[in-house]
Structure 1
Amino acid sequence: MSPVGLWRNLDDKTGEAKAEIRITETGGAVNGRIEKLLRKNAKPDEKCVECRDERKDQPMVGLEIIRGAKKAEGKEVWEDGKILDPENGREYRLRLTPVDGGRKLDVRGSFGPFGRTQTWVRVQ
């Protein structure tokens, strides 16, 4: 089981699909980019106005939101990476855990002792 592939993330509050994210592996680390925006009111030319680094004002489609997660020794978990929330521009410590036979991905972003987990669904 691997996080590599195309995933659909869902809004925590409404359960509606927000985006499709493509996770790839390069040099033992996984990275992920927004491939398609799925929100009803999404604009095709939407930019990351809240981003604070080189991603500021970059288009949301193609934006790298996952960086540098590596497979943990002896576990089906990828960690030590970062995930960007483009809605608020903050980066969080990241842990990716494939579940349900690789059909779902638990994506945990944390900051200090606080965090939240989203479950993303693999796009077939």
Structure 2
Amino acid sequence: MNIEKALTLKHVIAIAAFAWAAAPAFAQDTPVGLWKTIDDDGKTVKTLIRISESAGVFSGMIEKLLDPKAATVCVKCTDDRKDKPVVGMTIIRGIKHNTADAALWDGGEVLDPENGSTYRLRLRPADGGKKLEVRGFIGAPLFGRSQTWVRAE
């Protein structure tokens, strides 16, 4: 009987160790994926943004507008995106994984197509990768605003 309990305990420990080791493979703790942007009211879903990675650099493109009041063309943009359609527009550029903080992606910028302004950007996956903390700022992160986006896929 003690041998059976010992074998069972070994099996439980082995299964638990395997599950613990495999968990990072299933976690979505990167900003890569499709995200629902939530308005500052915390309720209204405004857009779907797809964040992708190429050679260690992350970018984000507006895939779909969900807010019927949203501008469809970036009239107020002042760079190469001026007067271009918002759907298909790259609004996140130049983000890289922070080497000092493994849970942070930063170093790039985000465009607000509503006002044409660009801001420095920090991204931090949360809740096991189900949410993305997005902080746009001017100068230091202290001077900005945050939103929480929700993974759509």
Question: If the length of structure 2 is used for normalisation, what is the TM-score?
Answer: 0.76
- Residue of structure 2 in register with 1:40 after alignment: 68
**1:112, CA displacement in angstroms?**
2.0
Shift of 1:64: 0.5
Aligned to 2:107: 80
How many pairs were matched up? 122
Paired AA for residue 125 in structure 2 = P
RMSD: 1.3
- Paired position in structure 2 for 1:10: 38
Secondary structure of 2:40's partner? coil
In the TM superposition, 1:13-32 aligns within 5 A as 13=41, 15-32=43-60
SS of 2:114's partner is coil
| Structure with a larger share of its residues in helix | 2
For structure 2, list consecutive stretches of 5 or more residues without a partner in the other structure.
1-28
1:50 partner letter: K
Q: TM-score, normalised by structure 1?
A: 0.93
Does the CA-based 8 Å contact 2:61-2:88 persist in structure 1?
yes
Question: What is the Cα deviation at residue 14 of structure 1?
Answer: 6.1
1:52 aligns with 2:81: no
Structure 1 residues 14 and 95, CA gap change in structure 2 (3 angstroms): closer
Cα distance in 1 for residues equivalent to 2:39 and 2:96: 26
Q: 1:108 to 1:38 in 2, by over 3 A?
A: same
Which one scores higher on RCO, CA 8 angstroms, separation ≥ 6? Answer: 1
Structure with bigger gyration radius: 2
1:95-110 equivalences in 2 (<5 Å): 95-110=122-137
Cα distance in structure 2, aligned partners of 1:18 and 1:2: 21
Q: How far off its partner does 1:77 sit?
A: 0.6
Unaligned ranges ≥5, structure 1: none
Is the counterpart of residue 67 in structure 1 residue 96 in structure 2?
no
Q: Larger strand proportion, structure 1 or 2?
A: 1
Instruction: Name the CA distance, whole Å, in 1 between partners of 2:80 and 2:93.
Output: 14
Rounded to whole Å, the distance in 2 between the matches of 1:3 and 1:121 is 11
